[in-house]
Amino acid sequence: MPDAQGAHPPTPPYAPFGRTVGVLCLIGVLVVGQLYTVIPLFAGMGRDWSVPVGSAAWTMTAFGLSYAVGFLLSGPLAERFGARRVLALGLLATGLATAAVAAAPSLGAACALRALQGLCASTFAPSAFAYLSTNLAPDRRPVALTYLTSSFLASAVIAQVCAQTAGGAAGWRGVFLGAGVLLVSAAGLVMATLRTRLSAAGPSPRLSQTFASMGRLLANPTLLLAYGATLTILAGFVATYTAVQVAGPPAMVGHPQALLALRASALPAMLLVPLGAPLLARVTTAVRVPAAFVLAAASIITASFLKDHTIVLAVALFSFVVAVAIATPGLVEMIASLAGPAKGASVTLYAFVLFVGASVGPQFAGALGDTGFGGIIRSAAILLSVGAVVAIAAGRAVGRGRHSRVGGRRPPRSRGRHADRGTVPADSEPGDPRGHQDAGYARPPGHPVQAPVPPPHPSDPFRPGPFRREPFPAGPVPYGDPRAGSAPRQSSRA
């Protein structure tokens, strides 16, 4: 409450960047990695339950589908109950469900427990994004979100390497028991290290409002193209790595250490892409995303024909992982730009579609098991080629600017020679040095006024800038405003 002199209470400090991002990225590898952990364990599961190795892939599909559905619910939960609380409770529940999988007596029981595990695990990513978006300094948030999404991608390789190593020593049941203990410990780590900066959350949207927004998004043909491309990217990725396990490159069949080295060879790709993010950002998504799809398809086509050459196969899988790591964040960026004001719902729907594709991947590979390793990954390359064509179509629409508003209507076009000035980021806050940098009108208390720049043209009814456009405030022009002496332009219409 402000005092007699109008001073505002001090703003709570932001969370420390290094500790916060480090903790969430490590936990992110552990949580999202549960989807991929089972790939090197299929053979052991099949032996214990007396089922074919391909049937054990249903444990991955069960996790992936419930994980995808859980995304539709977890975002509103984090907004309603607080990100830190949902993070901790979700990790605790995920740990208990993970440990329970180790006791599964049959494939059916394991699929049911894996579905429960996926539903619990789905609380992590939306809550982590929400926590970073409200508790880190605004200028550090984009970097933090990049690191977090990179950790999710890295988990695809790290989880397989760790599961194969631990499974060889403790068996597949030991892998799930160990992961359960780590996840329960992660819940305690969240409560001990993360703090909530904002004591009261803002009003949270109703679940019905969230689904209504998603329905409007799906009515946009260009967004449907982008979601179609999203469906193929992890489907092709998971199908390829499932083929490595269930069909195996001929030169590596019966050599688990060679398979381990092949999986580990892709790890540097997960570091290379985040480091090159500033360079990649210079390329528009209309070019970057289709190019990544083409690279992914070309890489595994090469691997399918040169599967007997170990080094060539490793290089091809490395470039394949690089392409997937470029395409997935590029698709997020493309979809967010297509969604207009409904960015939150669009990203939630993106995550749902992405992991539905990941769930389809094992069954895609299993259905083509008779064609062998080369046949499976050639089919995956065809799937990714279809994704490339769809991404090109979506990218062309982005380039033509048809995405500006859900429903196909363009937003009002900025006019005047200062159209690129006065940018106000959507996440700016009182005290944020990036916000309100033009001196065009009076600032609310707490907003610092920086060096003034020429204000927008008086006749321009919308705030210029790429982040958001708002009408000038109604009412009298504040004293000292450069527009005070300007008469408003009269409409030429009667």
Give 243-301 pLDDT, tens digit per residue.
888 777 776 766 777 788 888 888 888 778 878 877 888 888 889 999 999 999 999 99
User: Which pLDDT band holds residue 30 (cuts at 50, 70, 90)?
Assistant: very high
Q: What's CA 296's distance to the chain center, in Å?
A: 19
Residue 404 lies in a domain: yes
- Predicted TM-score (pTM) of the model is 0.71
Residue 372 lies in a domain: yes
- Of the listed ranges 201-215, 235-249, 328-342, the one predicted with least confidence: 201-215
The pLDDT, as a whole number, for residue 408 is 44
Cβ burial of 360 (10 Å; 0-12, 13-18, 19+) is buried
Does 162 share its domain with 128? yes
Does 259 share its domain with 383? yes
190: CATH: 1.20.1250.20
pLDDT value at 60 more than 50: yes
Using left for φ > 0, alpha for ψ between -120 and 50, and beta otherwise, residue 52 falls in: beta
Residue 355 lies in a domain: yes
Which structural domain range is residue 234 located in? Answer: 206-408
Does 352 share its domain with 312? yes
The pLDDT, as a whole number, for residue 374 is 87
Give the HSE-up count for residue 115: Cα atoms under 13 Å, Cβ half-sphere: 10
Does 192 share its domain with 211? no
What is the per-residue pLDDT across 292-301, written as a single tens digit (0 to 9) for each? 999 999 999 9
Does 95 share its domain with 211? no
Does 219 share its domain with 364? yes
d(CA 159, CA 161): 6
d(CA 36, CA 404): 36
Does 225 share its domain with 276? yes
Residue 334 and residue 395 in contact, taking contact as beta carbons nearer than 8 Å: yes
The pLDDT, as a whole number, for residue 293 is 96
Does 183 share its domain with 266? no
Residue 434 lies in a domain: no
d(CA 470, CA 459): 14
What is the per-residue pLDDT across 402-435, written as a single tens digit (0 to 9) for each? 444 444 444 455 444 444 444 444 444 444 444 4
How many C-beta neighbours within 10 Å does residue 154 have?
A: 24
Q: What's CA 199's distance to the chain center, in Å?
A: 26
Q: Which of 364, 382, 408 is the endpoint of a domain?
A: 408
What is the per-residue pLDDT across 430-487, written as a single tens digit (0 to 9) for each? 444 444 443 333 444 444 444 444 444 444 444 444 444 444 344 444 434 444 444 4
The pLDDT, as a whole number, for residue 401 is 58
Does 140 share its domain with 255? no
d(CA 223, CA 398): 10
Does 254 share its domain with 339? yes
Q: Which of 177, 196, 215 is the endpoint of a domain?
A: 196
What is the number of domains present in the chain? 2
Does 97 share its domain with 158? yes
User: Which pLDDT band holds residue 31 (cuts at 50, 70, 90)?
Assistant: very high
Residue 418 lies in a domain: no
Residue 444 lies in a domain: no
Residue 474 lies in a domain: no
Residue 60 and residue 67 in contact, taking contact as beta carbons nearer than 8 Å: no
Residue 326 lies in a domain: yes
Mean pLDDT, residues 69-81: 82
Q: Which of 196, 230, 263 is the endpoint of a domain?
A: 196
Using left for φ > 0, alpha for ψ between -120 and 50, and beta otherwise, residue 293 falls in: alpha
Give the HSE-up count for residue 476: Cα atoms under 13 Å, Cβ half-sphere: 3
Does 157 share its domain with 259? no
